[in-house]
Amino acid sequence: MSQVVVVGMQWGDEGKGKIIDLLAEQADITVRFQGGNNAGHTIVVNGKKHIFHLIPSGILRDGKMCCIGNGVVIDPEVLLGEIDRLKTYGIEINPHKLCISERAHVIMPYHKRIDIAREKKKGEKRIGTTGRGIGPCYEDKAARTGFRIIDLLEKETFLRKLEERIEEKNFYLTQYLHDEPVSFKEIADTYTKYGEILKPYVGNVSQLLWQARDKERNILFEGAQGTHLDIDHGTYPYVTSSNTIAGNVCGGAGFPITAINTIIGVCKAYTTRVGGGPFLTELKGNLGDHLREKGGEYGATTGRPRRCGWLDLIAVKQSICLNGVQELAITKLDVLTGLKEIKICIGYQYNGKKMEFLPVETDMFNKCDPIYETLSGWEEELQADWNSLPKAAKDYLDYINQFTGVPLSIISIGPNREQTILLKNPFEKDV
C-alpha cells in the first residue's frame, strides 16, 4: 500500500500527465486535488493524444477509480465534454470509475465573463489568465458566496441563491467592467440540468479515500500547474488561484498528511512558462524557438506558445523544499538532443551578491542575472534504457541529482508510455 503525490517543480507544463498515467497503472485510485480547467494534461497512448483538463489522467487505465477533490473548481460544461469525448474513444465513464466531491466549487458563467473583462480592462498590465473563470470562482469560495456541486442537486436552494448572486454579479459586470449582464433564466435552466446529469457521480471523496487507505489500496494524487504558480509561494501575482504544492492534498482532498508515503516532483529538462511573470533563464532568440518547436511547447488548454529557457535549478531546489520532494522525474530530456552545449542555472546574482532562493519582490527578481554552469550536449538519439544513454546525457542527469540532493526515479525521453526509464517505482519496494 502506498499513497503517492505528483507535483510540478516549475511553472507548470512539466509533463505531469505522462508521469501520472505511467504510475496510475499500479494505483487503485487517482485523485485531482486543486485547480480547474486552466490545467491541461497531455498523454499519448498508442499514437493517440488525449488532453485532460478536469478528469484525472488515470482514467485511461482499465479498472481504476478517479476522483475530483473538493479543492478543484469545476466547469460542468467542460467536465461533461470530457466525459463525452472519452466515450468516443471507447472509454466508458460511470459512477464506479469517477467520483466528484460534493464540496467542490462550481464555475459559473459570470465567473468566466468577469475573468475575461478584467483582463481586457487591465490592458498591458494583465496577468495572462486563461479566461476560464478560475480566479473569480476561488474568490467566491473564499467570500463564502460560491456554489458547490451539492448545490446543483438541490434545485430550490440553488435558484434562491442564484437570484441573489446574479444581482451582485450583473452590477459588477455592467457598472464597473462595462460588459453585458448574464441571464438568470439561462443559467438556472442550464445548471439545474447539469446537476441532474452529474448527480450519479457525486459523493464524499474524502470518505472514499479514507476507506481505501484502510483497505490498503494504492492512491495517486495528481497536482495541476506547478509549484511556482502557487497562490502563496509562487511568483505572485503571476500565479494561479490555488495552492499547487503537495501540502494541499490535505485541504484539496481531505486526506491526512501523515498517510502520504512518497512525493514525486516532475521537472522538465529545461524551463518553460506561459503568460507574464519573471523568467531569468528565458531564451528569446533562435535557441528559444528551437526548444519551443522541438518540444511542442504550446498550451494544452489555450494553445498559447510557451516561453522557453534553460533549466533553473534554483527554482527546482526551492520547489523541493516547499513540497518535501523525495524523488524527481525528469521529462523531455530528448528535446535537448542535438545541442552542442547545455546551460543550467545554479544561482542568481543581484547587485553583485549571489542568491540561492527566488526573490519575493517581482522588480528585484527581474533585475537578477542567472549564474550558469555549462555542460556538454549530445547528438545520439535517446533510448528507454539507462545503460544506453549517452555519457553527456547521464552527466546532465547526474548534475541535477547532485545539485538538488534528490534521487531521480523516472526519466522521460518522449511522449509515449514506452519512452520512459523507470529507475524506481514508488508503488514497489524494489524494481
Residue 431 within any structural domain of the chain: no
Domain boundary among 201, 221, 245: 201
Distance of CA 214 to CAs 102, 260, 371, Å?
Answer: 22, 13, 48
Domain boundary among 201, 230, 262: 201
The pLDDT assigned to 429 comes to: 54
Residue 350 within any structural domain of the chain: yes
Domain boundary among 159, 185, 201: 201
The pLDDT assigned to 129 comes to: 76
Give me the torsion for CA of 132, 134, 136, 141, rounded to 10°: 150
In a shared domain, residues 298 and 213 = yes
Residue 211 within any structural domain of the chain: yes
Q: What is the largest CA-CA distance in the chain?
A: 66
Q: Report whether 164 contacts 115 (CB < 8 A).
A: no
In a shared domain, residues 254 and 403 = yes
Residue 429 within any structural domain of the chain: no
- pLDDT tens, position by position, for the chain (431 residues)? 799 999 999 999 999 989 998 999 999 999 999 999 987 777 777 777 778 889 998 888 888 999 999 999 999 999 999 999 988 888 889 999 999 999 999 999 999 999 999 988 877 767 767 789 999 999 999 999 999 999 999 999 999 999 999 999 999 999 999 999 999 999 999 999 999 999 999 999 999 999 999 999 999 999 999 999 999 999 999 999 999 999 999 999 999 999 999 999 999 999 999 988 999 999 999 999 999 999 999 876 677 899 999 999 999 999 999 999 999 999 999 999 999 999 999 999 999 899 989 999 988 999 999 999 999 999 999 999 999 999 999 999 999 999 999 999 999 999 988 999 999 989 885 44
In a shared domain, residues 263 and 366 = yes
The pLDDT assigned to 191 comes to: 98
Helix (H, G, I), strand (E, B) or coil at 182: coil
In a shared domain, residues 173 and 186 = yes
Q: Which domain holds residue 281?
A: 3-95+204-422
In a shared domain, residues 14 and 30 = yes
Cα dihedral sign, 237-242-244-250: positive
Residue 392 within any structural domain of the chain: yes
CB atoms within 10 A of CB 170: 18
Residue 190 within any structural domain of the chain: yes
Q: Which of 21, 28, 41, 111 is catalytic?
A: 41
What residues pair up with 271 in beta bridges, in sequence order?
309
CATH of the domain at 127: 1.10.300.10
In a shared domain, residues 172 and 274 = no
In a shared domain, residues 128 and 194 = yes
379/399 Cα distance (integer angstroms): 19
In a shared domain, residues 125 and 255 = no
Q: What is the DSSP letter of 58?
A: G
Residue 427 within any structural domain of the chain: no
CATH of the domain at 7: 3.40.440.10
Q: What is the DSSP string of 123-175?
A: GGG-----SSSHHHHHHHHHTT---BHHHHT-HHHHHHHHHHHHHHHHHIIII
In a shared domain, residues 190 and 126 = yes
In a shared domain, residues 75 and 158 = no
Told to judge if 41 belongs to the known catalytic residues of this protein, a careful annotator would answer yes
In this structure, are strands 420-422 and 408-412 parallel, antiparallel, or unpaired? Answer: antiparallel
Helix (H, G, I), strand (E, B) or coil at 419: coil
In a shared domain, residues 118 and 233 = no
In a shared domain, residues 335 and 404 = yes
The pLDDT assigned to 301 comes to: 65
What is the reported pTM?
0.93
The pLDDT assigned to 384 comes to: 95
Residue 100 within any structural domain of the chain: no
Q: How many domains does the chain have?
A: 2
